[in-house]
Amino acid sequence: MAEVRFEHVTKRYTEKVTIIDDLNLTVRNHEFLALVGPSGCGKSTALRMIAGLEEVTDGDLYIDDRRVNDVAPKDRDIAMVFQNYALYPHMTVRDNMAFSLQLRRTPAQDIERRVKQAAGMLGLDDYLARRPRELSGGQRQRVALGRALVREPQVFLLDEPLSNLDAKLRVQTRAEIARLHRLTGTTFVYVTHDQVEAMTMGDRIAVLNAGVVQQLGAPQDLYDAPANLFVAGFIGAPAMNFLAARLRASGDGGATLVFAGADGVAPRSVTLSEDLAQRMARHATGGDGSAVIAGIRPEHLRPASADAPNTLAGSIELVEHLGSEQLLHVTMPGALANEAQVAEASQETPVAPRVVARVGAESRFAPGDAITLAVDANRVHIFDPATGFRLT
């Protein structure tokens, strides 16, 4: 059990390209830290530096009080589980798990005890004599976890270990890994590109983008108060909606968000809750107000009557039925395309910025319908369009 600390760590593969840029991050003893970010942002590189599989270009990396920059991987007391868990096909489950211990000349009794204990934790007791090809994908992944568990390491490093499993098995194994963390009390660093995995498993989450930590915090804190537009758009599914708006002070200490109008359409406005208005007081200005980006999560919009206060209005473009709920894709003035919408656009079909509302399954909606959506005036996120930072 140990703490892992990056102090001003930089990683460059070549002179010009910086992959990890001045990383400062402490993974606490016993903690499950999820390191999440889009593909290519440097997650595996960061993890591999902890494992000693990549050199640190600049800065200091500590495991507890030991600076490990120059410590060989085998002397770091870590165990790593990869996405591509190559098991030895000709060895039984027992031997796959025991192998690394045999290499280290661990006494046979000790090996037996550790393999038994790991198999017990992973529900593999009945499979110890089988070979990998006689196992399901989920069981194989559990053997890979077992192989790391028997090492009884100070730190567990997991690099997208669920990516090769189907959706149902992913959910199951997710719970299993979280349970292993509780049982062992070991420090876990878990790399994933999937924000749902990060949210459900992490004690804390570090969101990484382009080699820079964007925010570090408890899952709920990242959801409730994302530090910038990147985190706001990355955490939560469907993604947060963004709209161009102006933040206007009203005489009585209140504040109003005024959204863009369109030809012949009056601009919509939302009067912020007292609490939010107070926090926004120093950013709100008179006259036209100051330019901001408003972020509204799909679950904080609900269908309302056309004359209700604090509403947005638009036209339904697409309805996605999910059984328990529906996702309404609504075009409206001022909507800004989010990452997902940019990604799905092509040269033939340009981005149509949309606002997504997550609504109950009871009501019927159809493409082409006009709709009015009430905004939860206490749960609007407001960002500086110049810096992308959350206004606080």
Structure tokens at 383: 């960002």
In angstroms, give the least distance from the CB of 67 to ligand ADP. Answer: 22
- The minimum distance between CB 35 and Mg ion, in angstroms, equals 10
In the bound state with ligand ADP, the residue whose beta carbon lies nearer, of 16 and 133, is: 16
Phi first, then psi: give them for residue 181, nearest 5 degrees.
-65, -45
Report the half-sphere exposure of 319 (CA within 13 A, side-chain side): 18
Backbone angles phi, psi at 213, to 5 degrees: -70, 120
Is residue 256 packed enough to be buried (19+ CB in 10 Å), middle (13-18) or exposed (0-12)?
Answer: buried
Looking at 18, 44, 173, 311, which residue binds Mg ion (CB under 5 A)?
44
- CA distances (Å), 231 to each of 112, 121, 137, 276, in order? 46, 35, 33, 20
Smallest distance, Mg ion to C-beta of residue 196, A: 17
Smallest distance from ligand ADP to CB 37, Å: 6
User: Which residues of this chain interact with ligand ADP, rule CB under 6 A?
Assistant: 13, 19, 37, 39-45
Residue 96 found at the interface with Mg ion (CB under 5 A): no
CB atoms within 10 A of CB 39: 8
Q: Per rule CB under 5 A, is residue 256 in the interface with Mg ion?
A: no
Whichever of 42 and 353 has its CB closer to ligand ADP, that residue is 42
Least Å from the CB of residue 13 to ligand ADP: 3
- Closer of 206 and 380 to Mg ion (Cβ): 206
Counting every residue written for the chain, the total comes to: 392
The verdict on 192 binding Mg ion (CB under 5 A) reads: no
**CB nearer ligand ADP, residue 37 or residue 217:** 37
Query: Binding segment for Mg ion among 39-47, 87-95, 220-228, 367-375 (CB under 5 A)?
Result: 39-47
Using rule CB under 5 A, residue 45 touches Mg ion? no
Residue with Cβ nearer ligand ADP (23 or 150): 23
Binding site for Mg ion (CB under 5 A): 44
